[in-house]
Amino acid sequence: MTGTARQGVARDEEGAYLIALGSNMRHPRIGAPCRVLTRALDLIGEEIGEVTAISPFLETPPVGPSRRRYLNAAAIVETGQAPLAMMRALLAMEARLGRKRLGQDWQSRVLDLDIVLWSGGPWAEDDGKTSLVLPHPAFRQRDFVLAPARAIAGTWRDPLTGLSINQLHTRLTKPRHAPR
């Protein structure tokens, strides 16, 4: 894949990003997951851009083999960074705060940072080191992403479906009736 931005959107113009944050492990110096998320938000504000909104922190059940409950949140960040540069900065921050990528999905982690949506619309880029697809390919099926995101960005629209985060969350959590 090569970098693609929506027609008319410059790569270096100011943009808003919806970031998902998660933690389910203590950090040896920082402490509990709530302190890890707070520290990550502080670092994002200091090093990446202005954090203009933060959702409440929500405790969510684990997905996959991890048995520890997660603490999840969402934030809106305004920055002039292009999407791939933003993703690289978030990955570096995860590593600095103790995230070890061991190749297994859904394991416990000190910190997880993901770009969910970007105000510039769809994006796909792979430079051989980092790969990024926006919107995040799995966010529509993740209550632990949509629930905090709707608190701060409920009217943001998925550029692929046209549905708002509120609508996506309602569809995901709507009780299903058993067939008769």
Q: Is the pLDDT higher at 132 or at 106?
A: 132
Query: What is the rounded average pLDDT of the residues 71-96?
Result: 94
- pLDDT tens, residue by residue, 137-152: 999 999 999 999 999 9
d(CA 67, CA 173): 22
106 pLDDT higher than 60? no
35 pLDDT higher than 50? yes
Query: What is the rounded average pLDDT of the residues 33-49?
Result: 96
CA contacts within 13 A on the Cβ side of 150 = 19
d(CA 119, CA 126): 19
pLDDT bucket at 100, cuts 50 / 70 / 90: low
Helix (H, G, I), strand (E, B) or coil at 54: strand
d(CA 85, CA 122): 16
What is the crossing angle of helices 143-153 and 165-173, to 10°?
140
Q: Is the pLDDT higher at 179 or at 156?
A: 156
**Is the torsion defined by CA of 163, 145, 169, 78 positive or negative?**
negative
What's the whole-number average pLDDT of the chain? 86
d(CA 130, CA 132): 7
Percent pLDDT > 70 in the chain is: 83
The length of the chain, given as a count of residues: 180
Q: What confidence score (pLDDT) does residue 104 get?
A: 54
Q: Would you give the DSSP letter of residue 103?
A: S
